[in-house]
Structure 1
């Protein structure tokens, strides 16, 4: 019996400064996603903690640290709490569209505002329009750019206030990267709302999970992921539910 696709070749990056924990270094293992079975390979790797970036699947492979933990929310059982229901009502007027992964100038301008406000010294801050197009459009799997807009008026689309690059996998939605307006008082909590919207959409589509990427307990900027329950993390014994130590969690 032959395998449905050739076993991939894996490579390891050279160590680099960790973007989450000061004084630490990161290293990643990665493989190429290409050919007619790219989607199947991406699904299989996603279930063991890999993430997609363009035509590559990667996961942390640090020598002396295991702080990055893959997490996913059980969308099939998710019930928003009182605060989350209030946020859903607040933004219920937004018009949401799952678009083909094709970039626009409006999207890029929103991304730049988001990076300047939230990640001014991050690795993406120097991204130009060509880099952004590569991030969105170079996908070998089923991908959408989900747009969140103010209500349309006079037949014209409203202002773009949020977007999320999202993969549809066999067992759920994988949120690759989201960005949104950060300084509009009427649109506080947009990052959280985008996750809530994905959870509700996955539930309606009978997709069991929403993958949120990596969670680092010591990294405060990742604390928002602990708001969504039931949540699972990937360990040596597979995916298991857990209760993060939430403390004071800021709105995303």
Structure 2
């Protein structure tokens, strides 16, 4: 009988480029490929260590001058909505949730373009076309879902329209919000917050302990909203801890907060079937 050995993941570092969160800084990422039968256990394991998925790649910020990008997750058992978050839930009580396979549609892309043009016109995704959008949604080697939120059309009450969409990975210990977008002209609905709140409820119903939100960056107005969720934890110095006072994490922007790449890679824990290569 012929046996094949699992392919050990190899880790690489991107070239520096301008940081999208903190002005005047440069970012780089540590990344590895997701492939074959090891994709799901590797995604599960590295998500617990601050990595994020983008299509068939797992990455984690590994900047030379700061370590401000801190992976954030909500511990579902400790989450209670604030007064304003309860209002957000009530304002969106008319939305209907639908979970589908990761398949891109023209309606999704239209909403995506409206969202980018309004909120991130100068961002890294600003020039994405429908084929690149389809790749973002569909090229997933792990268990993923597209969660759609629909509402009755203002122009035609008999027609449902997309209000928000979230590409979500189902991990062994939670849900990971890979990317979400929503109607940009409905500010009172706070749709970005609502999508997170609803994912907390989905995780609770499924018995999953965590909802992974991506990165929280102290000092970045774009990411400040994540600190408003009770039960928020951040991955810092190799362990998860409650966020506490957000101001106490400002030191992570100091150059001495960064470990050498070789040390970072050496400390990565992998599934038992895999060995590391740097």
TM-score, structure 1 normalization: 0.91
Number of residues paired by the alignment? 243
Kept after mapping to 2: 8 A contact 1:51/1:213: yes
Structure ranking higher on relative contact order (CA contacts 8 Å, 6+ apart):
2
Q: After TM superposition, list the pairs within 5 Å mapping 1:166-185 onto structure 2.
A: 166-184=168-186
* TM-score (normalised: structure 2): 0.83
Q: How does 1:34-73 map to 2 (within 5 A)?
A: 34-73=35-74
2:244: which partner in 1? 243
Q: Which runs of 5+ in 1 are unaligned?
A: 247-252
Instruction: State the secondary structure of the residue aligned to 1:239.
Output: strand
Q: Which residue of 2 aligns with 1:33?
A: 34
- Decide which structure has the larger Cα Rg and report it: 2
Q: Distance in 1 between matches of 2:74 and 2:6?
A: 29
Per-residue deviation, 1:155: 11
In 1, Cα distance between the equivalents of 2:182 and 2:192? 7
Aligned counterparts of 1:155 and 1:207: Cα–Cα separation in 2: 36
Mapped contact 1:95–1:151 kept (Cα < 8 A): no
Q: Residue in 2 aligned with 1:206?
A: 207
- SS of 1:120's equivalent in the other structure is coil
Structure 2 SS opposite 1:148: strand
Paired with 1:155 and 1:98, the residues of 2 have a C-alpha distance of: 22
Unaligned 5+ segments in structure 2 are 248-278
1:226–1:244: 8 Å Cα contact kept in structure 2?
Answer: no
C-alpha offsets along residues 58-97 of structure 1, whole Å, 9 cap, x if unaligned? 0011111111111111012211122111111110110100
Contact 1:111–1:179, Cα closer than 8 Å, also in 2: yes
Aligned-CA RMSD value: 2.0
Instruction: Using the TM superposition, name which of 74-83 and 190-199 deviates more.
Output: 74-83
Deviations 1:187-243 (A, max 9, x none): 520110000000111111110000011111111011110111111111115101122
Equivalent positions of 1:1-252 (< 5 A) are: 5-151=6-152, 158-184=160-186, 188-245=189-246
C-alpha distance 160-235 of structure 1, shift in aligned 2 (>3 A): same
SS at match of 2:80: coil
Query: 1:152 and 1:61 mapped to 2: Cα distance?
Result: 44
